[in-house]
Chain A
Amino acid sequence: MNGFGTRGAVMLTAAVSLALGLTVLGVPAGALAQDAAMGVDDGTRITMWSRAATQARADALVKAYNATHKNQIDVTFVPTDDYQTKVGAAAAAGGLPDLFSADVVFMPNWTSAGLFTDITDRIESLPFKDNIAQAAIDVSTWDGKKYGLPFIVDLSVWMYNKKLFRDAGLDPDKPPATFGEFVAAARAVGKLGGGVAGTFFGGNCGGCNVFTWWPISWADGQPVMNPEGTESNLNSDTMKQIYAGFREMVADGTVLMPDSETEAGPTWTGYFPRGVIGIMPMPASLQGMANAALADEDIGVTSIKGIKGGESTFVGGDAIGISRDSKVPDAAWNFMAWLVGDEAQVEVVAKGGNVVARPDLAANKYSSADPRLVTFNTIAGKGQTPFAKNFGATYNDPQGPWIPLFRDAVFGDPSRIDAHNDAINESLNP
């Protein structure tokens, strides 16, 4: 890692002397700034990896870039569960592509190991640098150096089925304003019976409950970890009340069982579109959601609330960076700079019904057509992205210590929460 720092310094020195030299030679400063900001588009072939989970959205961006640029990106999608393995193996053997994206929670792990090229100065030179969603940049910063930009923004929200709300005598235009109201609404829908359940969660999936339960605590102002990601508060009173809420809903049959208990992640978002769930947390995307079993106008969307009210979200999705092995960082940067620019964000991201990575573009011609998209874009600014170097091994790993914690809290013996939290602390500080 020391070697990396030295290399970065050498490159920086080289860049500075090159810039000085060019100024002396009389190259207009404006043109130079432009090049430095946008990188080069000279027909370079750029290799890139991304995970299958975000393939549809990533593919749309890459296709739009390839259609309008001389550079051509060859993107390879990797099965989501194996993405960490693939990148790890390539890093170990020296075979990383030019660009690769990462689930934001993995960024600290990869930046701290020096997998990416430092792009602090490149980001600095972007004219709209202050308008980029900061969460992904913050989570990609290590030792004061920036390594990544937001690629795909994915938020968690509560989605509810307005038809089931009406059937249960609830007001479909008045979504829950507290976690307590969420439980009450779920319970009311759960009483309908006939294959319908109040709510659903991935009871064997670490990532799902990070994404959907932590914002409840954040909305109450209760952090789940310290900012350095070395100490867990997952045994706080707030979290214990949240676990207890789900425990009660499991006990009284509000939760879809046994599916919830066995769900390990691969299908957790598949239940809501089937029209059999009253209310549950979901990723903030309407793409491909409506179908014969769930009419588009019946999909209600609201932010995740705390026990006392307030709202928050998990600002997730993927960040992207230039790998340390890339031989064409200038060309690769051209894609990244384009990615967070106005055209890509509005004409590709917003047009596809997704959350933009530029809060200043949240109100655009596409989002104004659907108030739900406005909701998505507004709450993006109120969310958090957790930061921990050992995030994956602690929270996503099927054999990590977080899954036993919430499984005991919800299905098993809640008195063991504190002991499990100690195991989490141990895993955060190996």
Chain B
Amino acid sequence: MRQTLLGRTPFYVLTGGLAIIFLFPLAWSLVASVSPQPATGQVIGYGLGNYATLYNFGAGLERFTFNSGFVAFLTVAVTLGVSTLGGYAFAKFRFPGRDALFLLTLAILMVPYATLLIPLYVLLNYLGLQNSLTGLSLVLAMFQLPFATYMMRISFEAVPRELEESALVDGCGTFAVLWRILLPSVRPGLITVSLFAFLAAWNEFFAPLILLSDSAKQTLPLAVANLRQQTMGAIDYGATEAGVVVMALPCLVLFVLLQRHYVRGFMSGAVKG
């Protein structure tokens, strides 16, 4: 019944058209990055000239990619750790200030963060984490907390209480229950949280711009922005689109590979509403 919203042919025409509109900008950036353009690394014929520009830029693509990868990895690890324990606490325990703490965590979403970055800069100096990829990762993990904590909370809430209670009766401690019984059941939630933390950290521009001040510590989005504005007032469109492709590829691959899991991660929330 649900499928017969439209007739067969109109359905294919409409959805096919929409699919083309959604794919076109992505496909175009791929094509543009290898197309000939004056004043880019690829002047004549199709080829990888723009990628060569990107590869040889500054400290080198490997360095930037490594830095971005490191930051993304650490952000995911910290986000997962904090939000799993926090989500467990919010979902399965009652303690004074629980709701206030949860709302406070969600409020992180509501602060314009251009202003928050200066105090964070001062704070990292104070903690001895200035100009470090670790400090940057902690800041990025903080910005991930609202989504991650919410996601882990609804994931834990969706696990039937009986599962946990029988284990408690068997004499398991609460941590053993979390580790052995609950974590396997909330795997889609964990994957969803990791994926979104990875995407955010990998693509972040402003926090590394402000917080990192060392050429060897630059991340990929910073390098691409630099490359874009390199020569006084002349933009290298080719290298820009190549940069967009390089930044997007790992995200797209991960996103497609993990689709099944994060769709289920979102589902766990729907059961309870």
Contacts and interface: CB of A to CB of B under 8 A. Distances in A.
Question: Do A's and B's CB atoms come within 8 Å in the complex?
Answer: yes
Interface of A: 47, 49, 52-56, 74-82, 85-86, 89-90, 92-95, 97, 154, 202, 208, 265-270, 273-274, 283, 285, 288, 291-293
A52 B226 contact: yes
B109 to A, nearest CB: 23
A77 B232 contact: no
Contacts of A154: 232
Interface string B118-142: 1001100100001100000000000
A54 B229 CA distance: 9
B265 to A, nearest CB: 35
Nearest to B119: A93
A53 B210 contact: no
Contacts, number: 106
Contacts of B125: 93-95
6 contacts: A53-B229, A78-B209, A95-B213, A266-B229, A270-B39, A292-B44
A55 to B, nearest CB: 5
Given A89-B121, A93-B121, A274-B38, A268 B230 contact: no
B84 interface: no
Contacts of B38: 273-274, 291-293
Nearest to A282: B233
4 interchain residue pairs of minimum CB distance: A269-B233, A93-B121, A79-B225, A76-B215
A77 B215 contact: yes
Interface of A is mostly: mixed
A93 B233 contact: no
Nearest to B121: A93
Nearest to A57: B232
Most interface-central of A81, A93, A266, A283 (chain B CB within 10 A): A93
B181 interface: no
A292 B39 contact: no
Contacts of A90: 121, 213
Contacts of B229: 52-53, 79-81, 266
A291 B43 contact: yes
B215 A79 contact: no
A54 B232 contact: yes
Given A79-B222, A292-B43, A56 B231 contact: yes
Contacts of B226: 52, 55, 77-79
Interface string B212-235: 011110100010011111111111
Given A89-B121, A273-B234, A79 B228 contact: yes
B117 interface: yes
B58 interface: yes
B235 A266 contact: yes
A405 to B, nearest CB: 21
Nearest to A89: B210
B209 A76 contact: no
B218 to A, nearest CB: 7
A144 B216 CA distance: 38
A267 B43 contact: no
B225 A82 contact: yes
Most chain A CB within a 10 A radius of its CB, from B117, B218, B234: B234
A266 B38 CA distance: 16
A364 B232 CA distance: 25
B247 to A, nearest CB: 15
B133 to A, nearest CB: 15
A355 B209 CA distance: 31
Interface string B157-177: 000000000000000000000
A273 B131 CA distance: 39
B270 to A, nearest CB: 41
A55 B121 contact: no
Contacts of A268: 233
Contact of B209 (A55, A82, A94, A273): A82
Contacts of A283: 232-233
Given A74-B214, A93-B118, A95-B130, A56 B209 contact: no
Nearest to B114: A85
Contacts of B122: 92-94
A268 B232 CA distance: 9
Given A94-B125, A208-B233, A267-B234, A86 B210 contact: yes
B121 A267 contact: no
Contacts of A47: 213-214
B118 A76 contact: no
A97 B213 CA distance: 8
B200 to A, nearest CB: 19
Contact of A53 (B39, B131, B218, B233): B233
Given A53-B231, A267-B234, 4 more contacts: A74-B214, A82-B225, A266-B228, A292-B44
B231 A288 contact: yes
Contacts of B225: 52, 79, 82
A370 to B, nearest CB: 19
Interface string B33-52: 00000110001100000000
A82 B210 CA distance: 9
Nearest to A268: B233
B219 to A, nearest CB: 12
Given A95-B130, A208-B233, A292-B43, A79 B121 contact: no
A288 B234 CA distance: 11
Contacts of B216: 74
A208 B117 CA distance: 30
A306 to B, nearest CB: 24
A76 B234 contact: no
Interface in B223-253: 225-235
B230 A76 contact: no
Contacts of A97: 213
A76 B226 CA distance: 10
A114 B251 CA distance: 44
Contacts of B209: 78-79, 82, 85-86
